[in-house]
Amino acid sequence: MKLAYSIAKRFLISGKFQTFMIVLGIAIGVSVQVFIGSLISGLQKSLVDKTIGSSSQITIVSASPLSFISDYDEKIATIKSLDQPIDAIAPALEASGSLVKNMIENPVLIRGFDLTAAEEIYGFNEKLLLGGSLPDATGEIVVGIGLRDSLDLSIGDTISFGSETLASTSLEIVGFMDFNVLQLNSLWGIATLETMQGIIGIGNQISKIEMQVSDVFAADEIDFAIMTALNDDSLESQNWKAQNAELLSGLQGQSISSIMIQVFVMISVVLAIASVLAITVMQKSKQIGILKAMGIQDQDASLVFLFEGLILGLFGAVAGVLLGLGLSYAFTTFAVNDLGEPVVPLYIDFGFIALSALIAILASAGAALIPARKSAKLSVIEVIRNA
């Protein structure tokens, strides 16, 4: 082993330029792998974050549209006690109707929350415009900027809310929010749970339990586990995966294409290493012949090339990871939008990078198997007679 390693090392050092070029070849392959992988997973994460990052991913509602969920604290406690990756859980009670000011009427969906719990899902504080505050007391409301514009509202205004089934109630505007979605801006109002319970007059009941999970792609499985644990026929659940089939298939398509790209990059790297190492065996056949004449075992003669593959793979992988990270850094620094934010945020997953490096090393060693076999089979007499 030691002998084969020292011969491999010496062969590589003696052909510095060739060694450098091979390492560079592997490094470029690995760096493309790291960069594309980080880019695509970053793209995916940002897409997921933008589309479902600030909304409920699993929602539990009453099975009958006219009834509400009672004893919700107990149910939330049951869900929290489950060993599931649930990041946030919040009760909600909503009602639709109209907001009226100066005879102008605008449809609205007022969502009542336990605002501390809902903050983790919706990030209301970030969306609140300067000067306003979140609803704190009963009768306070925050509305979207669309509603503000169409009803010409300002902080401190009192407006009335009502619907066909709900009596008219006066609410005080305490702030405005930009939800970053046009439709929500002109439809949503946010109030406390108590405000809504008062308006609807149902006591301590809610209409929804909303949740976010850390592994969004497992939302359906978590959903199933929760419903099994609750074991309550009066409840129904919805998860984002069931509701966004198209988005999901888009994301899956992206994942698959990312894997395809990576597989092809890997194949080309493996082929390149295999062919270069095969040429090296030809170049070094005289040396291998001499070593065999001196009694080196076939196995050790093979090991020389396996070690060459391993060493090249190791250096190539390390250089490739550095190059890939450098490329990613350059991309996030120079490819930015008007706000100075990266066009596509990269997601650096060290597990993935380590895996790419490991694959490159194993692929290099694997690619060296062919030349290693060739080396073992090399006949001394052929080398000596053809010298």
Partner 1 sequence: MPNVIELNQINKIYGEKSKFPTQVLFDINLTFAEGSFSSIIGQSGSGKSTLLNLLGTLDKPSSGVIKINGIETQKMTAKSLSTLRNETIGFIFQFHYLLPEFTAIENVLLPYKISKKPLTDDIIKRAEELLDIVGLTKVKNNLSINMSGGQQQRVAIARSLMNQPKIVLADEPTGNLDSDSTEQIYNLLREINQKLGTTFIIITHDRHIAEKADRIIEIKDGKIFMDVQKNE
For partner 1, which is the closer residue by CB, 358 or 381? 381
CA distances to 52, 244, 251, 320, 339 from 347, rounded to whole Å, are 18, 23, 15, 17, 19
Residue type, 161: F
Task: Please select the residue that binds partner 1; options are 104, 129, 283, 286, rule is CB under 8 A.
Answer: 286
For partner 1, which is the closer residue by CB, 11 or 113? 11
Q: Does 386 bind partner 1 (CB under 8 A)?
A: no
Q: What are phi and psi of 24, to 5 degrees?
A: -60, -45
Q: Does 295 bind partner 1 (CB under 8 A)?
A: yes
- 324 within 8 A of 353, measured Cβ to Cβ: yes
Gap between the Cα atoms of 125 and 386, Å rounded: 81
Task: Please select the residue that binds partner 1; options are 137, 259, 263, 293, rule is CB under 8 A.
Answer: 293
Q: Does 294 bind partner 1 (CB under 8 A)?
A: yes
Gap between the Cα atoms of 140 and 157, Å rounded: 10
Give the up-direction half-sphere exposure of residue 106: CA atoms within 13 A in the CB hemisphere.
Answer: 25
Interaction with partner 1 in 14-43: which residues (CB under 8 A)? 14
Tokens coding 81: 């006690």
Q: Does 282 bind partner 1 (CB under 8 A)?
A: no
For partner 1, which is the closer residue by CB, 14 or 183? 14
Q: Does 5 bind partner 1 (CB under 8 A)?
A: no
- 309 within 8 A of 296, measured Cβ to Cβ: no
For partner 1, which is the closer residue by CB, 95 or 303? 303
Task: Please select the residue that binds partner 1; options are 46, 106, 160, 287, rule is CB under 8 A.
Answer: 287
The interface mask with partner 1, positions 297-336, x = CB under 8 A, is xx-x------------------------------------
Q: Does 380 bind partner 1 (CB under 8 A)?
A: yes
Written as one string, the DSSP assignment of 65-133 is TT--B-SHHHHHHHHHHSSS-EEEEEEEEEEEEEEEETTEEEEEEEEEE-HHHHHHHH-HHHHBPTT--
With CB under 8 A as the rule, give the number of residues binding partner 1: 23
Least distance from partner 1 to the Cβ atom of residue 275, Å: 22
For partner 1, which is the closer residue by CB, 130 or 387? 387
Q: Does 384 bind partner 1 (CB under 8 A)?
A: yes
For partner 1, which is the closer residue by CB, 13 or 245? 13
For partner 1, which is the closer residue by CB, 11 or 240? 11
The alpha carbons of the chain give a radius of gyration, in whole angstroms, of 32
Q: Phi-psi category of 261—alpha, beta or left, where left has phi over 0 and alpha has psi -120 to 50? A: alpha
Gap between the Cα atoms of 69 and 282, Å rounded: 77
Q: Phi-psi category of 347—alpha, beta or left, where left has phi over 0 and alpha has psi -120 to 50? A: beta
Contacts of 24 (CB under 8 A, 6+ apart): 316, 319
Least distance from partner 1 to the Cβ atom of residue 10, Å: 5
Among the listed ranges 11-19, 180-188, 193-201, 258-266, the one in contact with partner 1 (CB under 8 A) is 11-19
Task: Please select the residue that binds partner 1; options are 36, 202, 290, 322, rule is CB under 8 A.
Answer: 290
- 78 within 8 A of 230, measured Cβ to Cβ: yes
Q: Is the dihedral of CA 167, 170, 174, 177 positive or negative?
A: positive
Can you state the angle between helices 298-334 and 16-52, rounded to 10 degrees? Answer: 50
Least distance from partner 1 to the Cβ atom of residue 381, Å: 4
Q: Does 247 bind partner 1 (CB under 8 A)?
A: no
Least distance from partner 1 to the Cβ atom of residue 379, Å: 9
For partner 1, which is the closer residue by CB, 14 or 234? 14
Among the listed ranges 32-40, 160-168, 284-292, 343-351, the one in contact with partner 1 (CB under 8 A) is 284-292
Q: What are phi and psi of 71, to 5 degrees?
A: 50, 40
Gap between the Cα atoms of 142 and 186, Å rounded: 12
For partner 1, which is the closer residue by CB, 50 or 286? 286
Least distance from partner 1 to the Cβ atom of residue 371, Å: 17
For partner 1, which is the closer residue by CB, 9 or 45? 9
- Footprint of partner 1 on this chain (CB under 8 A)? 3, 6, 10-11, 13-14, 286-287, 289-298, 300, 380-381, 384, 387
